[in-house]
Structure 1
Amino acid sequence: MKLSHYPRGVSSLQSHSGLISSNLQAVAKQLADNQQLLSSLVAYPLPQYPSAQAHLLEHLLRTKLEPEVEEWVEKGQEIAQHHSQGRYKGLSESDRDELWRWAPLAANDEIRKQNWEGDYTMAEKESGIEHVETGLKRELQEPLDADDHDHGEDGAESDEADDDEEDIVEIRRKPNAPGLEFDLSTAKRPTTQMSIENIFRFMVTGSTAPGRPP
């Protein structure tokens, strides 16, 4: 297979996959050659082994495969047997089309069951968030509904707008009359960003003006 028309990383990927495949074949050969010896060995822990790690010891000395792993092995052996006999041809075109029709619907069903932007799942909200044990010390807020969310955004925007404004009281003398008069107006605060040079200057000197001491 020539890879001159493919990206440069493809050849590296192919070489790595070939290396992994050869290593797996070597391991499989060693297991097959020493199957009788490995199946007759009996492992047991020494008295010095810490009892606090008993669960790890049970996992290491497990003689049977996990149920899920055993199922994977059976499927792999079945596929290998079909391959060796030339009977395995993969999915038919109709089965592949059926799979592609089923997959988007199943994915959408799973997506609707979750609240991807909230602190709680849909099932936790339905059963009551007060019963959820998160193990966190901070208090989580119950997610808002759509109407409350829109109202909250409007309120946040209005608060931000208020923060950008400040009241100015102007004092001046009354024309052609004794005394003072006051005028209240609202001015926008400047929202221009500092340049990167001023940011660095403030970090070093504590001053934003060039040549000005901190």
Structure 2
Amino acid sequence: MKRLYTTLFALLSLTGAAQASEIAPTSMDVRPVPAGLQAPDVTLQTESGRPVQLKSLINKPTVLVFYRGGWCPYCNTQLAGLREIEPKLTTLGYQILAVTPDSPDAIAQSRKDTKGGALPYTLLSDSQFVAAKAFGIAYYLDAKTSDAYLNQYKLNLNKEERTGKVVLPVPAVYLVGADGLLQYSFVHINYKVRLQNELLLHAARLALEKTE
């Protein structure tokens, strides 16, 4: 427990010099890019497999969500739950972009399978982990969990080509201004803990007030 609190404190006290561009050995070791910096400009893929620059998509206030994949029930619950506040976010001027290490094909399938119907916002593939690394939230899944996910549950997870290891992002939510500045961040090393909709809406309103 002491280590957990120490790690969480370290995440909250990061400065710009602590940006990470590599993959952390565990989720406890990630070093997220903090609010106050420009969002890293990386190349992602659309559901059709077309490359797209993240910077080109952030042309308005944006809720940027990093999730582990369509196979993750906690991620699906989070994405489905965002429907409840999407009209309010849209009224405030926000768009929602959700980024996952799933392949474009897997994204298209998970969109159809999401509880409550197809998701109305943009899903982007980070199958090479470039965004997760640039934002400092990529980590190697431990061998025991990887084995269970791949062999017991038969999940189709992307692996790093160099090491053959499964890479995942720590679930994260960023509020990004139209100028690309990171206004707010929520990153939690426990993948079961997600940002509550009420807090996200409150933070979204406050972020707009700060930019006026």
Short-chain TM bin? under 0.3
Q: Which of the pair is proportionally richer in strand?
A: 2
Scaled by the length of structure 1, the TM-score of the pair is: 0.17
- Which structure has the highest helix share of the two? 1
| TM score, norm. by length of structure 2 | 0.17
Highest relative contact order (Cα 8 Å, sep 6+), 1 or 2?
A: 2
